[in-house]
Structure 1
Amino acid sequence: MTGILLTHHHTDHIGLVNRIVSTHTIPVYAHPNAILILKRDTEYIKMRVEFFRKLYQEMGCGEIGEKQVADLHNPIILSEDNKIHCGIQQITNNQLFGFDILEIPGHAPDQVALYNKECKWLFTGNLLIGNIPSNAFIEPDFDGIRTKSIVQQKQSLEKCLSLNVDLVFSGHGMIIENPIDL
C-alpha cells in the first residue's frame, strides 16, 4: 500500500504533501486532531489565536507577546500554501501500512509514531531526535484549554522506551541506533 502518514501538523512535516498529491493519487493520513489544523479551519485558528493572546497576557509578556499574537495572523502562516488541499483520512485504528500507530503527544497534541515489531523500527516524528533534546510545546486542546505537554512528552517517551526497538527514525537528523541510551 502507498500513502502518506503525517506524524503531526507542524509545517516542517507537511511541506511537500500538496506537491506530491498533485502528481500522484495517494491517500494522506493524519491523527483526527490534526485535520482542523492542516485544513486551516477558521474557527480553530481563531481559538488558537485567542488562547495565545490570553497566555501571553497572563505571563506578562507585554509587547513581545502582542507581536507573537500578531504573527499568528501572519498571512504567510495562514496562506493557502500551508494548507493541505487534498482529502485527509483520519487514522481510525491502531494499524496502518503494517505498523502499529501509537499516540505520542507532547511535542504536538496530534503526534503519532509508527512501530514495526518485526523490524524493531520506530518512526517518531519529533518525539526523539538524536542531535538535540526533544521538546514539548505549549498548545491548546480543541476546547482552548492548555495541554499538559511536558507530562504528555514524558509519558510518550516512557511508552516508546517500553518497546523493543533497534532503530528510531526521527523527523530530523540521523537514524538513532541506541534509542535507550538517548
Structure 2
Amino acid sequence: MNLYFAANPDGSWVLVDAGVPGSAHKIREATAELFGPDSRPSAILLTHGHFDHIGAVKELAEEWDVPVYAHPMEMPYLTGQSSYPPPDPTVGGGAMAYMSFAYPKKPINIKNRLELLPSDGSVPVLEGWRWIHTPGHSPGHVSFFREEDRTLIVGDAFVTRDGESALAVMTEKREVHGPPAYFTSDWGSAHHSVEALCDLEPEIAAAGHGKPMRGQELRQQLERLVQDFWLVAVPKTGRYVHEPAVVDEFGVVSVPPPASNPVPKVLVVAGAVALAGLAWAAWGKRGGNHKGNGYNKKSRQQYTQRPYSHNRALHSVPPTIDPDHDDPNEHTNNYP
C-alpha cells in the first residue's frame, strides 16, 4: 500500500497514512531522504483506519510528538472502542481477497494523539488542501484535494490497480478500480463517494493501492467507473452487497450474516503462495502494459444482466445489540 508526504511552501510537511505494521523504519528513512535527518511532520493525516494504513501511526506519532487527524466516524476504530465490520473473503475472486480473513481486525488506541478534522473541510496543517468525506470503504474515510493543481490523495475510495488480485499487486498495472471489495461494507456510499471524486476532475490521483495516475486517461477511467459502478465494482454476491453494515459514532451496531466461503482457508493460503510464484514468473516475461480503461468489452458483457442493488438494510434482520442487556456505547466485537 502507499502513503504520501505533502509539503507546505514554508518547508513544513505532513504524512498521509502510515503504512502496514512494521513499516516505521522505512518511513523514517524516506523522511530523512526527503526532508533531512531529524525532520518531523506537523501532523499525520489518516484517510481511514484499516490496518494497512495505520501500521506505524502509533509508534511514529509518539516518537515525533505530533497529532493524528481523522474523521469523527473513524474515531471508534482508532480509540479501541470498536472493530471494523468483518472483511468478506468471498468477494473479489483474488488471493488478496481470499486471505482477508487473516488480516488484522482489532482497533488500535491512539486516543491521546487524535484530533478531529475541522468540519469546514480545511486541513489545519496543510496549506491549500481540503478534505472530502468519502465513506463506503470505511465509515469515516476521507480523501484530500488540492485545488491549485487538482491533486487528489484518494485513499481507498478507489484504487489504481485490481485490489483483490495478487498478480495485480506484483505487476502494478495502472487502471482505475473500485475500492478493495473485501473491506468495503457499504456499496451505496462507496458509489456516491466515487461520483463526488469524479466531479472534482482530478489531474493527478494518488491512491492507497496502485501507482498514481494522471490526465485524460485517469478522468476517462474514473468516469467509466462511476457509470458502470454496479456492474464492474460491486460483487455479484457477498456479505454487504445488498445490505450494508450499520454503524454510528460509537462503532459497529450490526452487520449482515456472513456469506458462505467455498474455499477452505488452508487451500487459500496454499493457492496464494503458488499464485505469487506464478506472478513473479509472469513479471519477468511480460511485454509492456496493455492500454485501455480497465473494463474490456468481454468483461462488461458478462455483467450486463445484473440487477441493481438498492443497498438498504433489511428490516427483517434485527440488530445484534440487545438494548436490555448491552451497553450501546460499547460495540466492540458485539456482532457476528
User: 1:166 is matched with which residue?
Assistant: 203
Alpha carbons of structure 1 residues 116 and 40: separation in structure 2 relative to 1, 3 Å: same
Please list the CA deviations of residues 90-126 of structure 1 after superposition, one character each: whole Å capped at 9, or x if unmatched: 1122010131110011111110010100021001100
Aligned to 1:20: 60
Measure how far apart 1:85 and its partner are.
5.7
Identity rate of aligned residues, in percent?
25
> Is 1:117 aligned with 2:147?
yes
Unaligned runs of 5+ residues in structure 2 are 1-11, 13-41, 87-100, 163-176, 222-336
Equivalent of residue 152 in structure 1, options 175, 186, 189: 189
Q: Does residue 37 of the first structure (1) align with residue 65 of the second (2)?
A: no
Q: Distance in 1 between matches of 2:196 and 2:133?
A: 9
1:91 maps to 117
SS of 1:179's equivalent in the other structure is: helix
Give CA-to-partner distance per residue, 1:52-73, whole Å, 9 cap, x none: 6xxxxxxxxxxxxxxxxxx89x
Are the counterparts in 2 of residues 21 and 86 from structure 1 also a CA contact under 8 Å? Answer: no
- The answer (yes or no) to whether the contact 2:134–2:157 under 8 Å persists in 1 is yes
State the SS of the aligned residue for 1:180: helix
- The secondary structure found in structure 1 opposite 2:218 is coil
| Aligned AA (1:95) | S
Taking the TM superposition and a 5 Å limit, the aligned residue runs for 1:56-135 are 77-78=105-106, 82-84=108-110, 86-93=112-119, 94-96=121-123, 97=126, 98-132=128-162, 133-135=177-179
In 1, Cα distance between equivalents of 2:58 and 2:137: 23
Preserved contact between residue 105 and residue 153 of structure 1 (Cα < 8 Å): yes
Alpha carbons 1:122, 1:165 under 8 Å: kept = yes
Question: Does the 8 Å contact 1:120/1:167 carry over to 2?
Answer: yes
Match of residue 143 from structure 1: none
SS in 2 for 1:181: helix
When the two chains are superposed, the root-mean-square deviation of aligned CA atoms in Å is: 2.5
1:88 and 1:22 map into 2 onto residues whose CA distance is 11
Secondary structure of 1:95's counterpart equals coil
Offset, 1:131: 1.1
Q: CA contact under 8 A between 1:107 and 1:153: conserved in structure 2? A: yes
Q: 1:179 aligns with which of 212, 218, 225?
A: 218
**CA distance change for structure 1 residues 138 and 127 in 2, over 3 Å: closer, same or farther?**
closer
Asked whether the equivalents of residues 137 and 157 of structure 2 are also in contact (C-alpha less than 8 Å), the reply is yes
Contact 1:33 1:110 survives alignment (8 Å)? yes
Instruction: Tell whether the 8 Å contact from 1:18 to 1:85 is kept in structure 2 after alignment.
Output: no
Q: How many Å separate the matches in 1 of 2:46 and 2:106?
A: 19
Relative to its length, the structure with more helix (as a share) is: 1
